[in-house]
Amino acid sequence: MIAQSMIRRDTSMTASQPQFTDRQIAAALAEERRVHIERDAVQEHPDCVRIAIAWLDAQTRLARSHIGVYVPLKHMVEGWGGRYLSTLDLMAGARLLGIRGAYPWLGISRKFVLPDLARLQVIGQALSQPNYCGKHFDYYMRTETGASLRAEVDVYAEQLAAMGRQVAPEALARSLKDGRGFGLGY
């Protein structure tokens, strides 16, 4: 679990975060499996979908699916959530939230928001696979908390250290190249 001392914002935010039951997640996965190209994708745990939901919920939604530059959304979610997830998990999360589009062109803004670390607090499998932690932070343009990207990434690294996990320093250093993200040049 995430240490309370690492969370700056009040945790009442997690109550307003979308909560879905295992049954709802299974139904969304079944529907996605029916229509999605990765029909044989392995779904490891319902928390993978919950991580995707938490990440997607923090993003700015568009009324249409986005057409433009390819962005590795799945890898961004894995890097923030610290756990492997399949494209199927991400698409099931989008389906549950009512986000339109097909991977990787979902109806979210490409001005990505680094979600608040508190969103992971209620997800048991979050940050459980250190080899996924802290990657692809270079695509974020702002943070959900309003803090600087540098401050949020520092909190993320401190959290991993408190959990006894090593973060990839080169990934975080790249993420902070200009202090605001540089993935798409916005």
As a whole number of Å, the CA-based R_g of the chain is: 15
Q: Record the tokens describing residue 41, joined without a space.
A: 């994708």
Residue in the structure block whose two tokens are 């928001």:
113
pLDDT, one tens digit per residue, over 25-51 is 888 888 777 676 665 666 679 999 999
pLDDT of residue 92: 92
Smallest Cα–Cα separation from 139: which of 100, 167, 177, 82?
177
Tell which wins on pLDDT, 166 or 97: 97
* Residue 112 β-bridge partners: 140
Burial class (CB in 10 A: 0-12, 13-18, 19+), 139: buried
Contact 86, 38 (CB under 8 A): yes
Smallest Cα–Cα separation from 92: which of 26, 20, 28?
28
Q: Does the pLDDT value for residue 169 go beyond 60?
A: no
pLDDT, one tens digit per residue, over 121-135 is 999 999 999 889 888
* Cis peptide bond upstream of 104, omega within 30: yes
pLDDT band at 108 (very low <50, low <70, confident <90, very high): very high
pLDDT of residue 37: 60
Q: Record the tokens describing residue 137, joined without a space.
A: 């932070």
Of the chain, the percentage scoring pLDDT greater than 90 comes to: 44
pLDDT of residue 98: 94
Contact 112, 79 (CB under 8 A): no
pTM of the shown model: 0.78
